[in-house]
Structure 1
Amino acid sequence: MAVEYVVVDVETTGNSFQKGAKIIQISAVVVKHGRIVDQFTSFINPGHPIPPFIKELTGIYEDDVAQAPKFSDLADEIFHLLEGAVFVAHNVKFDRSFIAGELKEAGFSNPIVQTLDTVELANILLPEAESYKLGELSDQMELEHDHPHQADSDALATAELFIQLLEKTRKLPLATLEMLKQLAKKLNNSLFYFFDSIWQEKSREWELLPDHLEQFRGIVLKKKELPALEARVHPPVYPKGRQEKSRLLEQSFGQFEMRSGQLEMMDTVYESFTCDIHAVIEAGTGIGKSIGYLLPSVYFAAAAQEKVMISTYTIQLEHQLLEKEVNILSKALPFSFQAALIKGREHYINMFKFEQTLREKESAYDETITKMKILIWLLYTETGDIAELNLSSGGKLFCKRICNDRTMIQQNDPWSSRDFYLHSRKLASQADIIITNHAMLVADMEHEGLPPCDRIVIDEAHHLEKVVRTKLGQVLDYNKIKFLIGKLGTSDKKKQLSRLNHCISRLGELPEIHTFLLDQYISDLEAETDDLFSMLGQLIKKGKSGRSNSKRQKLRITDSVRTSRSWFHIQVCAERFLDFHNRISKGILERLKFINKHQTMLPPSDLAFMEEMTTFWNQWENIQRQIDPLISGSDSKEVIWLESDQTYLPMRTSVHRQPLHIDWFLSEQLFAKKKSIVLTSASLAANQSFAYFNRETGIDSFNRIEKAIDSPFPYGERVKMFIPTDLPQISTTPMTEFAEIISCHLAAIADAAEGRMLVLFTSYELLKTTYELLQDSNALEDFLLLADGVSSGSRNRLVKSFQQFKKAILFGSGSFWEGIDIPGDDLSCLVVVRLPFSPIDEPLTAAKMDAVKSSGRNPFSAYSLPEAIIQFKQGFGRLIRKQTDRGVFFVFDQRILTSAYGRAFIRSIPPVQYEKGPIEQLIPSVENWLEKK
């Protein structure tokens, strides 16, 4: 007999039935035999007014419910509709609580026994979905959903989603279903019955796995295959002329017009490779930079039978290159080539570890869900890249447990032939083009991990120095140490030392350092951690570093700090900390060495634990290297600083170390060892010179080609810059007062531009204050205001929301100055609140300026100014993203007009018209300029 499902959605006057909220609309869709057979919908009179927010959200008003029945009038019908059926909803607890509550008030018992939550099901069965919200799932799966937040539309969309999830489940292999239902037992009975009923149904027939799947050690996964290598009879000849290149690309791009800048970039990259010389190329917005370096890279790799590596700043850009530009070239070029993407091994799942976790008797909810979604993902993932999964915070912690950072059992790993990281290495070994990221590239310079490659293109090269500094640096925070101490333990069977002792006992060994001693050392270390970080936090507070209105304080550890009485006490505490840490380390290492020596005698479950333990040991051992600088003297080659959120001492206190200069590292490990490195970005030059960039990266001592290729966009016709002259100097104005003034200016500009504004800040505190002032004033009540760090969601989510509303304003800081692509009418007004100079009290900035000054140069002109100009150019680049875009560019910082260096910022961007004056005089010009569209 087929199971009957009733998919329900309710709209209510609030979030809690217990607090008096009532149902105002109900819809129930009956699903049987995998299809919709009926739908019941009705407005319901709640007996009290509908709150304004609910009216706006749902579009349901008093007129809609005034003549509608009360819930008690429909209770009998709803009871019999739900009786004996499986109750399904998107966020089932919410809908179930309201219906059960309303039925009870009407004198009925609760007919709902089994429930299914489509949020939970989608989480498991759609492991890569960007979001599990109904609206976004509807878009992703092309479901009919015309009126979000109305019960009839929501219930229908949920029913269609449920049917698709049901069909997906029925197509799963039996072995996968068996594992899912066993894991579901740990969650709830209804989910177990769901998977079990489908397993029972499928197990009646003989199953033959599709050719692309295999079952290994009980787990079904996609087979790994290496693409066939095609022999090239004749090496391809790089197309020299413009027409020849255009003919190639227009086959894939349609009406393709080769831009002179893109042609120049292609030829420069090819010259760099063929002449074994480095190159620095600034490629303005709109040149087509990715194809500009990919096409010559592919031709060179194919002709010379050498690999070319492409390094990008973010993993997102890696995937974009592989899935978009590489795909275009593969269709356009008259020969075949192979491209492969490779990341650090910690990005890939370790199948042996994962297999062993499936045998754990107990696990937290998030861990269990993550195990289930990985079982689904394994059926189609080709990469095993954890980044493909949409994970909760608990899921991310679980994946850290099973990531591919093994070092102990490599020779005995039964999964080695199916290892995802090793497979990615094989793909890279036979590829012409290897795509990676800066962090992996830097890691490879220290530890060989990538295939040998003498020619590399580094895109977004203005980030290279920052990535190197971060990778070579160290961060140690209170929570990290406490987390590692918490994982140790000796009495709890789940803790690391307890499990180590269990392994030791299997081998009949008695450790030299007894367990009770380690227990005492762990307790002592925990106390010393609290003392140390409390003192560090108090030192920051006493130093009053950072801005007075900022909760996040920083303190650079200088010679004067090290000679203070407070620092002496910190040193003494740090020495005690290290003493207990070293005693614990000795006990751990003793056990690890013995187990490693006899690992062939251990069962698989213990071997999997030893993999986890190796990861733990590497993190634990690293603590000493990070605490040492607190005890040892200062090092002129590095900068050390403390950070703390003063609201949460000492929990939010951390110690940071970074090298002061990284030019030597890149010079020795990159430019001296490789034949040709191409560094490219839209922003490398400052004041028409590459001197700053070359010096910071260390390429200044090597022969190189330098090219600054202008953007093809007609900026003079498409952009106008405005500089209000009725704003005070921010440096001499209290922040709250300045925020009030710019709020008024932003409101006036928003009305003129009808929203579509991106406002860039250098200070998060000023951003937050300005945002709150505009929200509270209702000056922009018709506009959607979105703020980085205030509004919920990632940067990409905020940008997507911004694009969905015509009258929207996006407040951004930090990463919003670059990497955001909002073409067309979605963005027509860009505001830079302040020229992006790094605060002089930033520890790294202060240390670098001191170093520049000690070398006899001017720290402002040699460091601060060029750094700010490059950032300013990045911000300006957000406005025009395609040939037909048009917009206005506001600069609120008076220094662009009043200072001697202000002209350097204006010269750094393409020539555009600009107008200055009081805001009330500028607004008509803004309206006039934007109407010219």
Structure 2
Amino acid sequence: MFMNKKTIYSVVDLEATGTDASADDRIIQFSCTFVQDQKIIDSFSTLINPLKAIPERITQLTGITNAMVKNAPSFRDIASLLYHMLQNTVFVAHNVNFDFPFLNYELKQIGYPQLKIKAIDTVTMSQILLPTLPSYQLRRISSYFNIIHKHPHSASSDAYATAYLLILLINRLRSLPYDTLKGIIKIQPKLPRNTMEMFKDTLQQVKDIHRPLSSYLRVKRGLVLRRNNINRRHDDKTTYKFPTSKPEKLRLYQSQLEWYPQQAKMMNEIYRNYTKDKKPSNWMFEVAMGMGRKIGYTLPLAYLSHNQHQVVIISTASKLLRKQLWDQTIPTLNNLLPFHVSKLIIKDSANYIDLNRYFNTLRVHEKSNQTQLVKAMILVWLTITTTGDLNELHINPKIPYLNEVRHYQDQTQHRHNPFYYQDFIRQHQIAAHRVNFIIVSHSYLCTHAKELSHLSKHPYLVIDEADKLPQAEISQYRFNFNLNLINIETRKIMGDLHQTHNHNLYDILPNHFTVRRKLKLIQGALAELSRAYQKIMYRFSITFLQRRLLTPVGKHMLTMPSLKKFQKYINKENPNFQVLNHDINIIKKITNYFQDMSGKRSYRRINRLEMDNYYHHVSMLINAKDMFNAIIDQIQSHPENCIFKAITNEPHNVASCYLKGGLISIGNHLEKDLYQYFRPMIFTDHALMVNGAKLTNSRMKLPLSNTRQKSDLDKISEAKPAINVYQTSSLFHQPDQYCKALATLILAKASKKPQRLLVGFSSLKLMTGTFNVLTDVDQVEEPVYALGINGSKKRILKRLTNAQRAIVFTNLTWFNQLNFNYPKEFGELIIADLPLDTNENMYYKAKVHQIKQSHQDVKRLMQLPEIILIIKRSLNYLPTHKNRLVIFDGRILNHPYFKQFARALPQGVIINQRKVKFNG
């Protein structure tokens, strides 16, 4: 045992000329902080002359220059001191597999024996013990725990921060329940060096002191779970008066909230709508940023929810807004109101852990080190989480193991499940009837509206970020379907029946006549559906995937068959589709029988992991069948309003074929799927109104007779913002010249002062062209980051963390998201081009065709609303951008609806025309 009060931990950080000692990289700084009995007892730091030049990139990263190490000791000069300093200590580093081997290699190079001391790693310890951190970079962890870390990538600062992190980790390790520690050791994650010994030593210490389990925890089958304290409405029967007047509101605010007249009007309108008006109306509120929109609707609805015992559902498009409501808005209400309001976030079932599936995976030791590490992380996380939402772990969702432990169906688990009463989805279903506020995404709302409407007698519904709702709704009717998916899942189930490398269903299930007969039925159904599907796919191949019908596009080939041809194909194959559905339903019924049967006492020895895999494969087959049926239903029911294309790698290759398509326009689906289930609703956003009430309501599919609108963008008007529009219409048909002119403008603005410039594009072609121009120019001092060209969203945000100067190119969607998330991070905003061209998106082109067929104006119905909303969203951020927005696309000046566009903007917005300073 090395984890005791006498143990001295030497917490080391090295800076070097590179990352590979064997490639002649050398140490340039050594720092060590000593920890004993949870206290820092000493420290040591020195620069080291590497006897070679320090690369410029290392100097930029660490701040260590060649001049600084010129008179510093060489490694040979101080090797003896370091070697003896570290003897009889436990070596600690944040990524020990870099620092420890690097140091030993340097010692070996000058004839010293390698250090034989124990070494532990704080990265993997942090991952297991602090599983919900968004990042395990030392700088991020230090910021999260307020550890003083003034100079990241300075060895002395890093060693000091890692020492404090070690103390925190040891405290956390000692606080873990005995069963959790025992479970981690049983999982045996492969941790660097001697890190696992820390867990084993702690287990022994915890065992010796017989510490009782905390009251907020409970043990179920060896898993330590946090007790789910259902967040419910309090049993306060008092009816509270809503503060309608300014003095009443100010007394309630207690100086914790600023007074905004527009916000107060919004509150009163909402409260009056549901209490005073004989017939409530739908309300649309367009509210400028910084005017307290979220408090504006949650405060009056909190009174209504409490006094009437009704649920309030808030739907948003972005995770960020849901987080703000959860972390800031509703806690603020609880600080102000004379009563308590409760909250709950509900997501699709796949977001949540299935405790039984996770428990069953613990019986198998995986060869994957990553999988075993994730198992250990989840074990600790279960002592923390009250939601069971796997997103709390910030693990890459593409890790295959996560799919093994997710819920794969919405329905509540069977009662025979040993974790039935602890199941997180079941707990949410219970809590949903007892809370004041339920927060969901637009996509969840669109697919679960009827279910949500039953949570109370007359639930209230707020749709924030309402402009994104139509897209969320139509997305439910668009597909990207792998035609080979049914074959893939069928083969997996056949494998479950007959596999020889592991237990199959015949091995696992009881040797009982009824069970064997049902397995034979599954086997027959699989064979029959496989034959039927092969016929379906063969006819699809000869009907749609002949070479003469395909058009090469990049690495793929595609065809866009007529809907009449599709319908003819469906009608011919209808007998085979019926066989397919019939056989899958047989498999589904027998699977339900097995699930019910496994709860009986005589069958409890069933191998749960293999059965879970089988259940999952059946669920995936049913989902694939349902998706294919939905596509067929669309083609048959809405031939005039849907479009599909088939994409394949080569002619007749149906195995690689995807069917992509769906509805062109939203039709009456919002009314049918959502609106009919709720009383009149509240819609709100920073940019919501377009050219007149009729067009606005038409976009949201709301009736004019029962919808009221209010736009409060006074904050924008008070700032007197200016839009500088450049006269570039003549250049637009010469893309090369347009890109050069835009690059010239960007360079001019970047050269004025150090700043981060944000440039939004509608056209990827123009973004690529401008990027190429800028990156070919020698005088560009700022790094240029272009979304989808030289970086993903995550990578660009990471690079921006330390960049004082940068030019960021993005599409217009992320352009506004960046402004919303990081309002003070950028200088001037530039919109490079507006969506005035015919979009290559197949849905867009099809919708244009629809509008033309109905003899309506595409520019009025499609272009104008989109442009107005893009500009309005950007105007919301102008108070933090010195009130200037640049539109480089001069075509808007000649647009036939330019006057309507200008009238739709907030009052006081000045549109300036600018000439392009460009020599070609």
How far does residue 350 in structure 1 lie from its aligned partner after superposition? 1.9
How far does residue 140 in structure 1 lie from its aligned partner after superposition? 0.9
Equivalent position amino acid for 1:263 in 2? A
Give yes or no for contact 1:370–1:395 (8 Å, CA) kept in 2: no
Q: Map 1:628-639; keep pairs closer than 5 Å.
A: 629=631, 635-639=639-643
How far does residue 169 in structure 1 lie from its aligned partner after superposition? 0.5
Q: Map 1:459-470; keep pairs closer than 5 Å.
A: 459-470=464-475
Give yes or no for contact 1:518–1:587 (8 Å, CA) kept in 2: no
Partner of 2:476: 471
Give yes or no for contact 1:487–1:496 (8 Å, CA) kept in 2: no
> Matches of 2:107 and 2:528 in 1, distance apart?
58
Give yes or no for contact 2:18–2:26 (8 Å, CA) kept in 1: yes
Equivalent position amino acid for 1:865 in 2? L
> Matches of 1:578 and 1:42 in 2, distance apart?
75
> Matches of 1:707 and 1:541 in 2, distance apart?
50
Match of 1:809 among 792, 807, 810: 807
Equivalent position amino acid for 1:111 in 2? L
Partner of 1:618: 619
Give yes or no for contact 1:852–1:859 (8 Å, CA) kept in 2: yes
Equivalent position amino acid for 1:370 in 2? V
Partner of 1:746: 746
Deviations 1:522-577 (A, max 9, x none): 999999999999999998995367xxxxx6989683528959xxx99x99999999
Match of 2:912 among 893, 907, 915: 915
SS in 2 for 1:880: helix
- Is 1:52 equivalent to 2:56 in the alignment? yes
Equivalent position amino acid for 2:259 in 1? E
How far does residue 194 in structure 1 lie from its aligned partner after superposition? 1.6
- Is 1:875 equivalent to 2:874 in the alignment? yes
Instruction: Say which is worse superposed, 597-606 or 359-368, in terms of deviation.
Output: 597-606
- Is 1:272 equivalent to 2:273 in the alignment? yes
Partner of 1:38: 42
> Matches of 1:248 and 1:544 in 2, distance apart?
66
> Matches of 2:33 and 2:243 in 1, distance apart?
61
SS in 1 for 2:677: coil
What percentage of residue pairs aligned between the two structures are identical? 24
Do the aligned partners of residues 89 and 363 (structure 1) sit closer, same or farther apart at CA in structure 2, a change above 3 Å counting? Answer: same
Partner of 2:707: 705
Equivalent position amino acid for 1:841 in 2? E
- Is 1:830 equivalent to 2:829 in the alignment? yes
Partner of 1:889: 885
> Matches of 2:438 and 2:576 in 1, distance apart?
45
Equivalent position amino acid for 1:70 in 2? S
Partner of 1:455: 460
SS in 2 for 1:410: coil
SS in 2 for 1:810: strand
Partner of 1:129: 133
Equivalent position amino acid for 1:699 in 2? L
Instruction: Say which is worse superposed, 520-529 or 620-629, in terms of deviation.
Output: 520-529
- Is 1:360 equivalent to 2:364 in the alignment? yes
> Matches of 1:252 and 1:540 in 2, distance apart?
70
> Matches of 2:756 and 2:611 in 1, distance apart?
54
> Matches of 2:806 and 2:246 in 1, distance apart?
42
> Matches of 1:554 and 1:837 in 2, distance apart?
28
Equivalent position amino acid for 2:495 in 1? T
How far does residue 471 in structure 1 lie from its aligned partner after superposition? 2.2
Equivalent position amino acid for 1:763 in 2? S
Instruction: Say which is worse superposed, 367-376 or 590-599, in terms of deviation.
Output: 590-599
Deviations 1:378-415 (A, max 9, x none): 22222222221121345474256333636585121222
Do the aligned partners of residues 423 and 840 (structure 1) sit closer, same or farther apart at CA in structure 2, a change above 3 Å counting? Answer: same
> Matches of 1:82 and 1:526 in 2, distance apart?
69
Give yes or no for contact 1:456–1:677 (8 Å, CA) kept in 2: yes
Give yes or no for contact 2:313–2:438 (8 Å, CA) kept in 1: yes
Give yes or no for contact 1:485–1:526 (8 Å, CA) kept in 2: no
How far does residue 692 in structure 1 lie from its aligned partner after superposition? 3.2
Do the aligned partners of residues 449 and 111 (structure 1) sit closer, same or farther apart at CA in structure 2, a change above 3 Å counting? Answer: farther
Give yes or no for contact 2:550–2:558 (8 Å, CA) kept in 1: no
SS in 2 for 1:851: helix
- Is 1:422 equivalent to 2:423 in the alignment? no
> Matches of 1:650 and 1:7 in 2, distance apart?
58
Partner of 1:162: 166
Q: Map 1:670-685; keep pairs closer than 5 Å.
A: 670-685=674-689
- What is the TM-score when the length of structure 2 is the normalising length? 0.87
Match of 2:520 among 493, 512, 517: 512
How far does residue 584 in structure 1 lie from its aligned partner after superposition? 9.4
- Is 1:179 equivalent to 2:183 in the alignment? yes
> Matches of 1:527 and 1:33 in 2, distance apart?
72
Deviations 1:22-44 (A, max 9, x none): 22222233333333333333322
Give yes or no for contact 2:478–2:660 (8 Å, CA) kept in 1: yes
SS in 2 for 1:412: coil
Deviations 1:160-188 (A, max 9, x none): 21221111101111111111122235556
> Matches of 2:572 and 2:122 in 1, distance apart?
53
> Matches of 2:194 and 2:647 in 1, distance apart?
48
> Matches of 1:742 and 1:540 in 2, distance apart?
42
Do the aligned partners of residues 821 and 405 (structure 1) sit closer, same or farther apart at CA in structure 2, a change above 3 Å counting? Answer: same
> Matches of 1:764 and 1:495 in 2, distance apart?
51
SS in 2 for 1:40: strand
SS in 1 for 2:97: helix
How far does residue 468 in structure 1 lie from its aligned partner after superposition? 1.0
Give yes or no for contact 1:367–1:394 (8 Å, CA) kept in 2: no
Equivalent position amino acid for 1:889 in 2? L
Give yes or no for contact 2:641–2:664 (8 Å, CA) kept in 1: yes
Please tell me the root mean square deviation across aligned C-alpha atoms, in Å: 4.2
Task: Report the count of equivalent residues.
Answer: 899
Give yes or no for contact 2:120–2:192 (8 Å, CA) kept in 1: no
Do the aligned partners of residues 207 and 454 (structure 1) sit closer, same or farther apart at CA in structure 2, a change above 3 Å counting? Answer: closer
> Matches of 2:820 and 2:762 in 1, distance apart?
20
> Matches of 1:357 and 1:326 in 2, distance apart?
38
Give yes or no for contact 2:758–2:815 (8 Å, CA) kept in 1: no
Give yes or no for contact 1:280–1:704 (8 Å, CA) kept in 2: no
Instruction: Say which is worse superposed, 421-430 or 400-409, in terms of deviation.
Output: 400-409
Give yes or no for contact 1:12–1:22 (8 Å, CA) kept in 2: yes
Instruction: Say which is worse superposed, 210-219 or 834-843, in terms of deviation.
Output: 834-843
SS in 1 for 2:809: strand
How far does residue 784 in structure 1 lie from its aligned partner after superposition? 4.7
> Matches of 2:235 and 2:752 in 1, distance apart?
61
Give yes or no for contact 2:30–2:155 (8 Å, CA) kept in 1: yes
Q: Map 1:582-661; keep pairs closer than 5 Å.
A: 592=591, 595-596=594-595, 598-599=597-598, 600=600, 601-603=602-604, 606-607=607-608, 609-627=610-628, 629=631, 635-642=639-646, 654-661=658-665
> Matches of 1:721 and 1:537 in 2, distance apart?
51
> Matches of 2:34 and 2:715 in 1, distance apart?
56
- Is 1:150 equivalent to 2:159 in the alignment? no
Do the aligned partners of residues 143 and 107 (structure 1) sit closer, same or farther apart at CA in structure 2, a change above 3 Å counting? Answer: same
SS in 1 for 2:168: helix
Do the aligned partners of residues 643 and 183 (structure 1) sit closer, same or farther apart at CA in structure 2, a change above 3 Å counting? Answer: same
> Matches of 2:745 and 2:544 in 1, distance apart?
42
> Matches of 1:58 and 1:771 in 2, distance apart?
30
Match of 1:243 among 236, 242, 247: 247
Q: Map 1:280-679; keep pairs closer than 5 Å.
A: 280-362=284-366, 364-393=368-397, 395=399, 397-398=401-402, 401-403=405-407, 405=409, 407=411, 409-445=413-449, 451-452=455-456, 453-477=458-482, 490=495, 499-504=504-509, 509-510=515-516, 511-512=519-520, 543=551, 557-559=560-562, 592=591, 595-596=594-595, 598-599=597-598, 600=600, 601-603=602-604, 606-607=607-608, 609-627=610-628, 629=631, 635-642=639-646, 654-679=658-683
- What is the TM-score when the length of structure 1 is the normalising length? 0.85
How far does residue 321 in structure 1 lie from its aligned partner after superposition? 0.9
Give yes or no for contact 2:271–2:304 (8 Å, CA) kept in 1: yes
> Matches of 1:158 and 1:658 in 2, distance apart?
53
How far does residue 627 in structure 1 lie from its aligned partner after superposition? 4.8
Partner of 2:70: 66
Partner of 1:548: none
Equivalent position amino acid for 2:744 in 1? C
> Matches of 1:64 and 1:651 in 2, distance apart?
63
Instruction: Say which is worse superposed, 380-389 or 719-728, in terms of deviation.
Output: 719-728
Instruction: Say which is worse superposed, 861-870 or 200-209, in terms of deviation.
Output: 861-870
Do the aligned partners of residues 492 and 542 (structure 1) sit closer, same or farther apart at CA in structure 2, a change above 3 Å counting? Answer: same
Partner of 1:927: none
